[in-house]
Amino acid sequence: MARLWPLLLLLVVAARARPGADGTCPERALERREEEANVVLTGTVEEILNVDPVQHTYSCKVRVWRYLKGKDVVAQESLLDGGNKVVIGGFGDPLICDNQVSTGDTRIFFVNPAPPYLWPAHRNELMLNSSLMRITLRNLEEVEHCVEDKPGTHFTPVPPTPPD
């Protein structure tokens, strides 16, 4: 039995070093993901934009359906691109497990305004902060539950959620 330990350790290290590569990506708890993201929204990918030549990630234009958190953050920092669209960067980030989208995908996005060290490339963009989440009633309820646990958060009216 003792001889198996190095092998087990190696497997654990390999799984962590290559997030998502073997389908068992270690994702942080939802509560933690919600806390780390200043903005959580549902939206549909309308267009794949530029690829970041340094980070090897790409950005997308996303039509927002609903803010679960941080609508004021987006409004204040003039991140809106013509009414109800935002640009989200960081797709393909190897630090994020589920990090890929195609045009037409509707997801829950956990994002933060791009910090200044990512300017000018990502100026006025939101950056993906953790894995994309599929829109199901259960997922929405779980995310809302995390947001509601915090004092001082507000909800926006609920437009109909498009089918996934």
Ligand X SMILES: *[C@@H]1O[C@H](CO)[C@@H](O)[C@H](O)[C@H]1NC(C)=O
State the residues that interact with ligand X by CB under 6 A: 36, 93, 95-96, 112, 129
Cβ at position 20, least distance to ligand X in Å = 13
Q: Indicate the residue among 119 and 141 with the shorter CB distance to ligand X.
A: 119
The least distance separating ligand X from the CB of residue 95, rounded to whole angstroms, comes to: 4
Contact between 96 and 130 (Cβ < 8 Å): yes
Contacts 24+ apart (CB under 8 A), 76-83: 77/113, 77/124, 78/124, 79/113, 79/124, 79/125, 79/126, 81/124
Comparing CB distances to ligand X, the nearer of 62 and 96 is: 96
Residue 109 near residue 40, CB atoms below 8 Å:
yes
Distance CA 47, CA 124 (A): 17
Q: Which residues on neighbouring strands pair with residue 57, listed in sequence order?
A: 52
Q: Do the strands 57-69 and 85-91 form a parallel or antiparallel pair, or are they unpaired?
A: antiparallel
Nearer of residues 93 and 125 to ligand X, judged by Cβ? 93
Burial 131-147 (b: 16+ CB within 10 A, else e): bbbebeeeebeebbebb
